[in-house]
Structure 1
Amino acid sequence: MSIHSKVTQWGNVSRFCVERLADYSELLSIEIAHMRTQLVRDVIALVALAVAGLFTLSFVCIAIIASFWATPWFIPVVWAVAGGWLILSIVALLVLRMQRPVWSLDLLRGEIHQDLTTVKEALK
């Protein structure tokens, strides 16, 4: 290949990359807006679930403890409720640690991967 054809080839590739850069920025802004909407909806739902769940569980725990109020089992039941919460907290922490992070910009990543493949093919 001559130098002129190499320069022309690289010029075509650079024009392609510059044109795609505008598309990437538009796609990124669309995906960020979608992620923001989804995040707000998920956070509101999780907060409502957490508040309702905590109220429910606290009343259940109070009911369990109150059921054993004047019995010899009162102190063991109180410690059993506390131990149950400790075990639940440890399990939740382990589950959280074992989850892998989620990559949410899949569409943008796919477009960039396709364009890199196109550029590699053009430079052969």
Structure 2
Amino acid sequence: MSIHSKVTQWGSVSRFCVERVADYSELLSTELSRMRTRLLREVIALVALAVAGLFTLSFVCVAIIASFWATPYFIHVVWAVAGGWLALSIVALLIFRVQRPVWSIEVLQEELRSDLATVKEALK
């Protein structure tokens, strides 16, 4: 292959890459906007769920403890409720550590992989 054809080939590849940069930036902007909207919705829903759940569970725990107020099992029930909360916290921590991140920029990654394959083919 001559030097002229190599320069022409590299010129074509560089033009292709420059043209795609604008597409990448637009795609990145769109995906970040979608991710931000989805994240905001999920955070609001999770905060509402957490607040409602904690209020409900705290009232249930107070009701359970109050039911055993004047009985010989009062101390056992109090410690059982505390142990249950500790176990629930440990399970939640383990589940949190096992989970993978949910969000990624998949479309942009696919486009970059596709374009890299195209560039590799063009340079053969």
User: Common fold, TM-score beyond 0.5?
Assistant: yes
Instruction: Give 1:36 deviation, angstroms.
Output: 0.8
Shift of 1:104: 1.7
Distance apart, 1:99 and its partner CA: 1.2
**Aligned counterparts of 2:103 and 2:118: Cα–Cα separation in 1:** 23
SS of corresponding position for 1:113: helix
Match of 1:112 in 2: 112
Residue in structure 2 matched with residue 60 of structure 1 by the alignment = 60
* 1:103–1:55 distance in 2 versus 1, CA, 3 Å: closer
Runs of 5+ unmatched residues, structure 2: none
Question: Which residue is 1:80 aligned to?
Answer: 80
Determine what percentage of the aligned residue pairs are the same residue: 80
Residues matched between the structures, number: 124
Instruction: Determine helix, strand or coil for the equivalent of 2:69.
Output: coil
Distance in 2 (CA, whole Å) between partners of 1:107 and 1:34 is 12
| Divergent runs of 4+, >2 A | none
The answer for the alignment partner of 1:44 in structure 2 is 44
CA separation in 2, counterparts of 1:112 and 1:101?
A: 21
Could you tell me how far apart the structure 2 residues matched to 1:43 and 1:98 are? 20
Supply the RMSD in Å over aligned alpha carbons. 0.8
Normalising by structure 1, report the TM-score: 0.97
